[in-house]
Amino acid sequence: MTGDAIGGYFPLELPLARRQRHPGALRYQSARAAFLALLRQGRPARVWLPWYLCDSMVEPLRMAGVECARYAIGADLAPAGPIPLGAGDWLLYVNYFGLCDGQVDRLLASYPAGQVVVDNSQAFYSAPRPCLATIYSPRKFFGVPDGGYLVTELALVPPAEQDGDSIDRCCHLLQRLAFDAESGYAQFAAAEQSLAGLPPKRMSSLTEKLLNAIDYEAAGSRRRENFAFLQQRLGNANRLPLAPQPDAEPLCYPFLPESPIRRGALQARRLYVPQYWPELLAENIPIPPFERGLADGLIPLPVDQRYGSAEMTELLQRLADAAAASI
């Protein structure tokens, strides 16, 4: 039997394929799986990671048996000081919130590009730089169940096995589409957890088709507009200095208020924001004070393509109400 089936029942209706983003990238089931594949191929002696980083990117080092060293960042989100990078070491830098292209370029001017991995999980729209590797996580920007991109100079062979579990990670996407944010949260958390500890596999056919149906230009434009809207109204109250970024399509608006805002107060007003990353607040983790303050107090406000100025105005009102309730 050859070719696709003809006739029969319909699949989920999707727009015709649009122009892909990062068309030359290797495609994995997640960013962490892409990082694990890179580690197993490159076999570094040690990898320098920022303290302010999700544990999902530390997990591949444990699985690959690679030593982990840590470095601090400053208020500009760049490394706070020189990093003693050895000949067999790699340096991973996070393009925080999709707002650190300038920091990436300065880093590459200071360290051997062949030893630098840029984690663009929060910077889907940022172009890969000439470095060892760049990693992307599209599900942080779009309604897809999984997926990761890897652009690298290393000669990696794509995994023979293709991920077949994407359909099991779609329940929260459909729940939110059909009902509301609350009804699918448990399924969302389960889908995220299902990506932990897996060997690298090729991106599923389902995820690839979903990604090909996205209007990336429209989504990026909306993100720029919403970010500018919030920066104009919150910039003077934000303790995190944000340089003007008129061309950036950011992950969120990272708001660090003068006084803490209780997450319960935000949730009571149905304003749901992630916390990057609560596991860093454990007493046994010697995280530097600045990063601890980010993990504890940063409010990453949504600026994504679902929303326009009316929703941003409503967001500001709910934020103000939650701040008043937190006093």
Q: pTM to 2 decimals? A: 0.95
pLDDT for 65 equals: 97
User: What are the tens digits of pLDDT across the range 128-148?
Assistant: 999 999 999 999 999 999 999
pLDDT for 6 equals: 76
Return the structure tokens found at 192: 């995220």
Return the structure tokens found at 234: 């919150």
Domain locations along the chain: 26-212, 216-325
Residues 271-282, mean pLDDT to the nearest whole number: 95
Fold of 216-325: Aspartate Aminotransferase, domain 1 (3.90.1150)
User: What are the tens digits of pLDDT across the range 99-108?
Assistant: 999 999 999 9
Pairwise pLDDT comparison (40 vs 284), residue with the higher score:
40
pLDDT for 141 equals: 98
Distance in angstroms (rounded) separating the CA atoms of residues 84 and 91: 10
User: What are the tens digits of pLDDT across the range 160-192?
Assistant: 999 999 999 999 999 999 999 999 999 999 999
DSSP letters spanning 85-143? --TTEEEEEE-GGG--HHHHHHHHHHS-GGGEEEE-TT-TTSPPPSSSEEEE-GGGTSS
Percent of the chain that is helix, strand, coil (3-state, to 5): 40, 15, 45
**CA nearest to 162, candidates 27, 285, 298, 21:** 27
pLDDT category at 2 given cuts 50, 70, 90 is low
Residues 103-116, mean pLDDT to the nearest whole number: 97
3-state class (DSSP) for residue 218? helix
User: Is residue 244 scored above 80 in pLDDT?
Assistant: no
Confirm or reject CATH 3.40.640.10 for domain 26-212, answering yes or no: yes
For residue 261, CA distances in Å to 214, 281, 300, 324 come to: 34, 17, 12, 8
Three-state SS for 19-71 is: CCCCCCCEEECCHHHHHHHHHHHHCCCEEEEECCCCHHHCHHHHHHCCEEEEE
Contact 26, 201 (CB under 8 A): no
For residue 305, CA distances in Å to 9, 32, 81, 134, 265 come to: 31, 25, 36, 24, 25
